[in-house]
Amino acid sequence: MILADKIIDLRKKNGWSQEELAAQLGVSRQAVSKWESTSSIPDLDKIIKLSEIFGVSTDYLLRDSMGKAEPEEDADEEAGQEARTVCLEEANHYMEAVREGAGIIAAGVSLCILSPVVLILLMGLTEAGGFALSESAAVAAGVSILLLMVSCAVALFVVWGKKLEAWEYLEAEPIELSYGVKGAVEKKKTEYAPTHSIMLAVGIPLCIVSAVPIFMGAALDDWTAAMAGVCVCLCLVAAGTFLLVKTGLVYQSFQKLLEEGEYSRKEKRHKKRDDVVAGIYWCCVTAAYLGWSFYTMDWGRTWIVWPCAGVLYGAVCGIAALAGGK
């Protein structure tokens, strides 16, 4: 139980409202409300007064919230690298910014996935003779819409990347959480866990079943049906990816603050190398995708580059880790 929960529990046991507790402490009701919602933390003199009012020790109030993170096995390698302190206000601002931006960034990723859909539809309709545009006009219109959608997505990435730029150090530098911050973040992470599980449970199956429309279109042995199947596939992938990216970003915000998983201090030391590998790899994949697509104009097949690249990326990272002596 963290400090906020203890204040709520002790206040209710005494039958006091937030206003009544605030009056005894000489603070506003809003201050008590912020303490109980982990938006802020009472200073030391208020904690001493709380212990006197509730008849408990200050040790009881602070014990669970002041635990320091256990030293990592390779702590000696961190010697000389000063940890940056993160206060509760900064942590709350970061988590709120991520919650606001996660949906927008996820929408940008989905736009990129959906960008070829119009081109594929126009090509399919033109091939079937059900559209007034010539093939060259259909390609021009489809490519224009593709580039427009990708441009909108890039704009979203740039805008929200700038807004989150202030917290980039969470991914690369060791941090030290101020008193009460760890407990507050862990509480928010626990509260979000059911939502995270639901979004994963929906998003992953959507991506898996996305291949079904392609198989159905191929089984019908009809060009229009095949193109429609690819479009439905991309729509399902976009929907599933939106959920996965959105919930992944929110969940990662907790991991970054708690230095868990890929954001542990050990992993942070290898981040720069991984960023270089990812930058080179995905630039090459994008160049290969666009080159193949424009050369063959077979957009209904070239999309296969992305899932293949995603699978191979794990192998590339593994090779880079071995080469770097990870």
Give CA–CA dist 232/227, Å, rounded: 9
Residue 81: the pLDDT is 59
Q: Is 72:39 a contact under the CB 8 Å cutoff? A: no
**Residue 325: predicted pLDDT:** 56
The CATH-assigned architecture of domain 3-62 is: Orthogonal Bundle (1.10)
What distance in Å separates the CA atoms of residue 214 and residue 231, rounded to the nearest whole number?
9
Asked whether the beta carbons of 278 and 120 are under 8 A apart, the reply is no
Cα separation of 294 and 285, whole Å?
14
Cβ-contact 39, 96 below 8 angstroms: no
| Cα 314 to Cα 55, 308, 311, 318, distances in angstroms | 56, 11, 6, 6
pTM over 0.85: no
pLDDT 10s digit of each residue in the chain, 326 long? 677 778 888 888 888 888 888 888 888 888 888 878 777 778 778 888 888 888 888 777 777 544 444 444 444 444 455 778 888 888 989 999 999 999 999 999 999 999 999 988 888 777 766 566 777 888 888 899 999 999 999 999 999 888 888 888 888 888 888 877 888 888 899 999 999 999 999 999 999 999 998 888 878 877 778 888 889 999 999 999 999 999 999 999 999 999 888 888 777 766 666 777 788 888 898 988 888 888 888 887 888 888 888 888 878 877 877 765 55
* Axis-axis angle for helices 181-209, 3-13 (nearest 10): 110
* CATH 1.10.260.40 domain locations along the chain: 3-62
Structural contact between residues 150 and 112, judged by C-beta atoms closer than 8 angstroms: yes
- What is residue 55's DSSP assignment? T
Least Cα distance to 236 among 215, 256, 253 occurs for 215
Residue 181 is encoded by which pair of tokens? 């911050």
| Secondary-structure breakdown of the chain: helix, strand, coil percentages, each rounded to the nearest 5 | 75, 0, 20
Give exposure, 308-321, as e/b (b: 16+ Cβ within 10 Å).
Answer: ebeeeeeeebeebe
Closest to 184 measured CA to CA, from 96, 56, 119, 244: 96
Residue 285 near residue 311 (C-beta atoms within 8 A)? no
* Cβ(111)–Cβ(120) below 8 Å: no
Residue with tokens 């995708």: 289
